[in-house]
Amino acid sequence: MKATYESIMSAAMQLDPIERCRVATGLWESVDGPAVELERDALEDLLNQREKQLDEDPSSELSEEAFMSHFNARRVS
């Protein structure tokens, strides 16, 4: 049987959130190449920028609950 996106997602969604994160990390780390390196560099730049913003204005920090609510709302639309 050939694995499909749907079968993998269905199985993954049965895992608890920590295990799903481990799967996502493993998949992400399995992808390699110049394009991925560029994306990692861009992500690193974005994270550094956000960290600088938080240092300058700590009140802009979101709670995990607020972030997840915002993130989940974006996924629905």
The model's pLDDT over 26-66, given as tens digits with 9 standing for 90+, comes to: 888 887 766 667 688 888 898 899 899 989 998 888 888 88
pLDDT at res. 28: 80
pLDDT at res. 30: 83
Q: For residues 3-27, give the mean pLDDT.
A: 91
Asked whether the beta carbons of 51 and 57 are under 8 A apart, the reply is no
Instruction: Note if the pTM is more than 0.85.
Output: no
Q: Which helix (H) or strand (E) holds 38?
A: helix 34-56
C-alpha closest to that of 38 among 46, 50, 30:
46
Count of domains observed in the chain: 1
Name the residue range of residue 30's domain.
Answer: 5-76
